[in-house]
Amino acid sequence: MVLLKDALADNSYPGRGVLWCTTGDGTTLGAYFLTGRSPASQARTLHLTAAGELIVGPSDARGHDHLRHYVAARQIGTRLVFGNGEQVSAVADRLASGQDPLPALDGLDYEPDPPIFTPRLTVIADNHGGGEAWFGAARRSTADRTATNRLTLHVSDLAPGEGVLMTTYRSDGQEIATGDPFMEFRSTAETSSDLLEELWSGLPSQLRIAAAVFIPGDLKSSGIRQTSGTCV
């Protein structure tokens, strides 16, 4: 199984990513990160609001862009929803209305941003009973169909050092394509701080925007790293 740092180093442009991992101290954690190439993508910050949401917002005077600015994580009871777009709020609302994780992840679509048509990645995570997560990916077909392919993955019982990663893109430095459906990895992190450092240091330095590591049920204590500094 590949190490997280090697998986990140092998992808010159991962775009945005979500992961679920158990560290060496036995804590199961979620994480979200952003990388970007354009000035508009780079001009973003990741911050916690007074309401306890993790928000991706502009770092300058730009207006709201629904593809770049969104709620990246929201707590619903013991469950935490996180992902790469405005679908996070929609899925959180479905959970709040009583839906179970699988139907809450259904019916999502990829982003309307040709030519790459960025996948929508969403995770519903719960540390109750040892920790489990439901990954959802809404992806455009690699064939000629315009219909959305919707993938779901249920992950549980991760041993210390084990994790699962999804990224929006995969690049060899020349071509950019939709990321692999998912990747299993190993982490050397012992604590949440270690995982944040491992994640941050593994991202392409010239493309890094922000990364956060969080415990479901305690979103307000998230560790955040971004190009403008570190927040806890």
Residue 40: CATH number of its domain? 3.60.20.20
Tell me the torsion sign for CA atoms 33, 37, 41, 43. Answer: positive
Distances (CA, A) of 176 to 8, 29, 39, 42: 15, 29, 18, 18
> What amino acid occupies position 123?
V
Beta strand residue intervals within 100-207, DSSP E: 120-126, 132-140, 148-156, 162-167, 169-171, 176-178, 183-186
pLDDT of residue 62: 65
pLDDT of residue 231: 43
Domain extent, residue 39, equals: 2-231
First vs last C-alpha separation in the chain: 31
Pairing of strands 54-58, 44-48: antiparallel
Domain count, the chain: 1
pLDDT of residue 229: 47
pLDDT of residue 153: 98
pLDDT of residue 230: 43
What residues of the chain score a pLDDT lower than 50?
A: 229-232
